[in-house]
Structure 1
Amino acid sequence: MDAGAIATIVGLLGACLVALVLVLVARREAGVQREQAERDVASIKDDARTMLADVERRERRLTEREQQLASDRAAADELERRTRADAEAAAEARRAATRMVEDAERDTARRAAEAERAALAELESVTGLTADDARAELTRRIAADAQNDAAAQVRRAEAQARRTAEGRARRIVTTAVQRLAVPTSSQSALTVLALPSDEMKGRIIGKEGRNIRSFEALTGVNVLIDDQPDAVVLSCFDTERREVAQVALEALMADGRIHPQRIEQAYAEALAGADERTDAAGHEAAERAGVRGLHPTLVRTLGRLRLRTSYGQNVLEHLVETALLAAALAAEVGADVEVSRRGAFLHDIGKALTAEVAGTHASVGADLARRHGESATVVNAIAAHHDEVPPETVEAVLVQVADAISAARPGARREELDQYVERIDKLEQLVAAHAGVRRALAMSAGREVRVVVEPSEVDDFALPQLAVAIARHIEADLAYPGEIKVTVVREMRASATAG
């Protein structure tokens, strides 16, 4: 054989040996795996036998528990049956006891009613009063005692308030009035102009009186020359006409040339300057009162009040005075000084518009101030100064006080005689209309009213209530400047004659 064949045979033999080795190795590994599998199966069988034994034990325990539960259920059923029987017995006993209590209560109520009727009949026979009469008498006495107690408490409270408040209020008002010491501002229907010289009278009269006739015809004002030696008097009920005539006559006297044409020119200039004088008066009053930042419309409206009077008191001067008083009072009591000053200065501004706008001057003025940017506190002070709406702040009350002080100062205001008599008579009639009033006497020029009552109709406890009722009646039905003090007098007199 050649070498190639030998090599091939050797290669085949090597391959066969390798294959044989691999087969042997595979068989050995298979045997090892079979042995491991047999051991695993044996272990699983052991575990299964253990689990089966455990399951059997648990089944036996479960059976025992079910038997115990059945026994307990039977005992519970027996207990429930016994409990239900006991509850039914208790309910029956409760119902029986309730019936016995109700019977006893009805019997007791019947006996009590019979005893009450017997006692009431005996009481009525002894006292001579029925139950309704006794009840009414008791109610009357209780009401009378309560009213007397209330009146006594009111008197004590008023006395305490008076002791603590009157002194301080008097000091505050006195301090404010003394600090100001403003002059009175009463006006009349006359304006007096001083003459620079005697010959000015002749110039004003003119040749055959043509100048004075022309002046009176243009202005609608009466010119009185001979009433005072060194003065000329302008008389007219219309303050606007009188003011225009005053300005025109002052311009004529300053110029010295007085004739019909010059009179017409001076009158036209006086008319044309009315708005300027109005604005100037409003600004000057606001400056004196210390009020700043007013809307121009408010300033002009205030200026119109320079020609308006109330009971002879110039309204613009009254506003300045009231503003100063309110500011002083606010500083004394710790209120807002600027709000008090502003509300007092504007409180009567509606009087300039009452002929043009419907409503009271307080409501008209409040609406005007609201529309021109004034604060709610100032508007309330204006609207409430105559109690048409309730005052919401202490500043509004101070405006009322300052208004009353300015109006009630001696000499500040005046009335015509017939108006004064009519007001006093109306005051006395209004007070005399109250029940129990024997006589009403107006005193101190209508600033005080004394009320004499019938002692048999009005007792001492009812005097404070009657005084308050009369004061409220006067406030509601009577228009008056300042304040009216009401004093109620009860006097018991007895007389006898020895024969």
Structure 2
Amino acid sequence: MGSMSGFVLILLGLLGGAGLGVAFRQYWFEKRTESLQEQAKNIINEARKEAETIKKEAILQAKDSLFQMKAEFERESKENRKEFQALEKRILQKEENLDKKSEALDKREATIGKREKLILQQEKEIGEKEKELQSLLENQRKKLEELSGISTQEAKEMLIKALENEARHDAALLVKRIETEAREIADRKGKNIIALAIQRYAGDYVAEKTVSVVNLPNEEMKGRIIGREGRNIRAIEASTGVDLIIDDTPEAVILSGFNPVRREVARISLERLISDGRIHPARIEEIVEKVNAEIETTIREAGEQAAFDVGVHGIHPELIKLLGKLKYRTSYAQNVLQHSREVAFLCGVMASELGLNEKQAKRAGLLHDIGKATDHEIEGPHATIGADLARKYGESQAIIHAIAAHHEDVPAEDILAILVQAADALSGARPGARKELLETYVKRLEGLEKIAASFPGISKAYAIQAGRELRIIVESGSVGDAEVVLLSKDIAKKIESEMTYPGQIKVTVIRETRAVEYAK
């Protein structure tokens, strides 16, 4: 029991202590709660104060912003109002201007309407007057046709002819002026170059011709040349390919053959046979064979010497041989080899003055007549034959073209061909360089004068200076000063197309007016 009571007491003590602890805790919690509530009230009060402050500040800021916005709006409104007023003013001015323009347009329309009516009336009157004018013109035309005796078509043709003559006159004046200017420049430069070329090459000229007559010591020699039953003359003709003509010509035998080399072989052989005195077929063949070998050597040496004199190297041996053959070829009694040598020198001088290839120009000049070495064997112009030979033996295209074009068988395409043409004309046209038979010469002069006389308005025509100038006197009443230029050109073109001649021919047309009166 005692232990039980002690336990109860302990239990009661524990329960009393627990009650006190609970009471204390409740008291502390209430105090704490009051403190927290007081803090919360303070925080709430402070928050309210801050909120009021922030609210006031926000209201002030809002009012300030609103005031600024209102001021800005008023300022913009004021500016817009000014702009609207200015635009309104401009619009009012434009409306006034448009009203004025509209009034002006109305007035113009009214004026134009009046003018249109007036113009229509005038057009109507003009149409009536045109009809009257056409009628009057028709009557006048008929009267003019009756009085003049010519129709309207004839009058038109006369007018067209007059206009054509006037146009030809103006064209002739223009051509004369342009030609004079061009001739002054070209003549000055051309004469300087040609004169310098001629001065630097002053070759002696002796007119040559192939010897076709062999002189005999006596008439008895003719019989020995003929031989028994003509065996000697047949042997000579068979060996040389040349015909021997033995006629009544005293102490002479004529050699006839188209090949100049064969004719030279026959001449030398016959002269040696006559000098030797032993004339029989075996001896003839022996002499001809020796002379052929000598001539071949002479031909080669002549070609090599010509190339050496000119300063041209690297020519094919066959062309050298053909060049040497030109030694026995003549043209209008001018030795062709000498002519080729001179053309080469002239080409070289003119090329050096013009800044061109001097060696090439000399080569073209030396070979330009190479076709004449075989023109008796091949058909065709010697310029074409020469070009084919040059092409065959490896000459350049420029040389081939210069050879082919030096007589204008083909058009000249470069300055080298023109140089060869000029040098060829210079060499052949120099006085004393060439000569021709009297009959051919006379026919050429007559042909020149006949061509000149075929043109209208020609009074007299004279071929002078050995046919190198044609001087023409025209009728002053038929040919005007300006037409003289065209007339000289037409005559020159006709001469070029109808005649063959060496060098060039100068056509001079003279017009003069004479007034003659006698004092009595």
Q: Which TM-score band (shorter chain)?
A: 0.5 to 0.7
1:259 aligns with 2:278: yes
2:212–2:256 Cα contact (<8 Å) kept? no
CA shift for structure 1 position 181: 1.3
Contact 1:205 1:212 in 2 (8 A): no
In 2, are the aligned partners of 1:234 and 1:242 still within 8 Å (CA)?
A: no
Could you say if the C-alpha distance between residues 121 and 145 of structure 1 is closer, same or farther in structure 2, counting changes exceeding 3 Å? farther
Q: Corresponding residue for 1:435?
A: 456
Following the alignment from structure 2 to structure 1, what is the Cα–Cα distance between the partners of residues 471 and 186? 24
The whole-number CA distance in structure 2 between the counterparts of 1:286 and 1:124 is 84
| Mapped contact 2:472–2:509 kept (Cα < 8 A) | yes
**Could you tell me how far apart the structure 1 residues matched to 2:500 and 2:202 are?**
27
**Structure 1 Cα separation of the partners of residues 253 and 122 of structure 2:** 101
Runs of 5+ in structure 2 lacking a partner? 1-112, 146-150
The count of residues paired between Structure 1 and Structure 2 equals 383
1:184 matched to 2:168? The reply is no
Pairwise CA distance, 1:402:
0.6
Give 1:352 deviation, angstroms. Answer: 2.7
1:325 aligns with 2:346: yes
Cα distance change, pair 169–121 in 1 and its aligned pair in 2 (3 A): farther
Distance 1:110 1:478, change over 3 A: farther
Any idea what SS the aligned residue of 1:236 has? strand
AA aligned opposite 1:259:
R
Q: CA deviation at 1:391?
A: 1.1
**Residues 282, 133 of structure 1: alpha-carbon distance in 2 compared, 3 angstrom cutoff:** same
Residues 161-198 of structure 1: per-residue CA shift (max 9 Å, x gap): 2333323322221221121111225213438999xxxx
CA 1:114 to 1:286, structure 2 compared with 1: closer, same or farther past 3 Å?
farther
> How far 1:136 sits from its partner (Å)?
6.1
Report the RMSD for the aligned CA atoms in angstroms: 4.2
> 1:301 aligned to 2:322?
yes
**Contact 1:190–1:233 (CA under 8 A) maintained in structure 2:** no
* 2:398 alignment partner, SS class: helix
CA contact (8 A) 1:192 1:233 kept: yes
Query: Equivalent residues in 2 for 1:14-163 (5 A)?
Result: 116=130, 118=132, 142-163=163-184
For residues 326 and 349 of structure 1, the distance between their equivalents in structure 2, rounded to whole angstroms, comes to 16
Structure 1 contact 278–304 (Cα < 8 Å) conserved: yes
**CA-CA distance at 1:209 after TM superposition:** 8.2
Q: Which moved more, 1:417-426 or 1:377-386?
A: 377-386
Relative to 1, partners in 2 of residues 1:317 and 1:288: Cα closer, same or farther, differing over 3 Å? same
Q: Once structures 1 and 2 are overlaid, which stretch shifts more, 279-288 or 322-331?
A: 279-288
Q: Does 1:460 align with 2:481?
A: yes
- Does residue 169 in structure 1 map to residue 186 in structure 2? no
Partner of 1:449, secondary structure, is strand
Letter in 1 for 2:411: P
Between the aligned partners of 2:414 and 2:130, the Cα distance in structure 1 is 60
| Partner Cα separation in structure 1 for residue 352 and residue 127 of structure 2 | 72
Q: Is the 8 A contact 1:190 1:234 kept in 2?
A: no
Q: C-alpha deviations, 1:469-494, integer Å up to 9, x for none?
A: 11111111111111111111223345
* Alpha-carbon distance change, 208 to 383 in structure 1, aligned in 2, over 3 angstroms: closer
Report the Cα offset of residue 116 of structure 1. 5.0
Q: Residue in 2 aligned with 1:197?
A: none
Q: 1:267 to 1:372 in 2, by over 3 A?
A: closer
Q: 2-side partners of 1:241 and 1:179: how far apart?
A: 36
Tell me the equivalent position of 1:284. 305
- Name the counterpart of 1:65: none
> Does residue 359 of structure 2 align to residue 338 of structure 1?
yes
SS in 2 for 1:434: coil
Residues 189 and 136 of structure 1: CA distance in aligned 2, closer, same or farther (over 3 Å): closer
Q: Deviations over 1:102-142 (max 9, x none)?
A: x9999998876655555566667789599978876765555
- Name the counterpart of 2:76: none
Partner of 1:355: 376
| Aligned residue in 2 for 1:409 | 430
> 2-side partners of 1:192 and 1:257: how far apart?
19
Q: What does residue range 309-320 of structure 1 map to in structure 2 within 5 Å?
A: 309-320=330-341
Residue 415 of structure 1 aligns to which amino acid in structure 2? E
Cα 1:108–1:273 change in 2 (3 A) is farther
Mapped contact 1:326–1:399 kept (Cα < 8 A): yes
Q: Which of 460-469 and 298-307 deviates more? A: 298-307
C-alpha contact 2:209 2:335 (8 A) present in aligned 1: no
Residue by residue, what CA displacement relative to the aligned partner does 1:378-422 show, whole Å, maximum 9, x if unpaired? Answer: 222222222232211122111111111111122211112122112
- CA pair 417-257 structure 1, distance change in 2 beyond 3 A: closer
The residue that corresponds to 2:494 in the other structure is: 473
Three-state SS of the structure 2 residue aligned to 1:270 is helix
Is 1:236 the counterpart of 2:236 in the alignment? Answer: no
Check 1:264–1:379 CA distance in 2 against 1; reply closer, same or farther (3 A cut): closer
Asked if the contact 1:443/1:449 (under 8 Å) is kept, the reply is yes
CA distance in 1 between counterparts of 2:155 and 2:276 reads 98
Structure-2 change in CA distance of 1:498 and 1:332 (3 Å): same
* Residue type of the alignment partner of 2:502: P
1:206–1:126 distance in 2 versus 1, CA, 3 Å: closer
CA distance in 1, matches of 2:428, 2:464: 18
User: What is the letter of the counterpart of residue 255 of structure 2?
Assistant: C
- The answer as to whether partners of 2:261 and 2:325 remain within 8 angstroms in 1 is no
Moved more, 370-379 or 243-252: 243-252
Structure 1 residues 211, 466: CA separation in 2 closer, same or farther (over 3 Å shift)? same
What CA deviation, in whole Å up to 9, does each residue of 1:271-294 have, x standing for no partner?
244444433333322222333222
- The 3 A distance-change label for structure 1 pair 211 and 179 is farther
Letter in 2 for 1:177: I
Q: Secondary structure at the match of 2:462?
A: strand
* Alpha-carbon displacement from aligned partner over 1:352-390 (angstroms, at most 9, x marks no partner): 333333322222222332333333322222222222322
Gaps of 5+ in 1: 1-99, 195-200
Assess, with a 3 A threshold, how the Cα gap between structure 1 residues 107 and 407 changes in structure 2: closer, same or farther: farther
8 Å Cα contact 1:185-1:317 kept in structure 2: no
Cα distance in 1 for partners of 2:399, 2:474 equals: 43
Q: 1:411-462 CA distances to partner (integer Å, 9 max, x unpaired)?
A: 2111121221122112211221122223221111111111122333322111
Q: Residue 508 of structure 2: which of 484, 487, 497 is its match?
A: 487
Could you tell me how far apart the structure 2 residues matched to 1:208 and 1:372 are?
46
What is aligned with 2:289?
Answer: 268
Q: Higher mean Cα deviation, 173-182 or 347-356?
A: 347-356
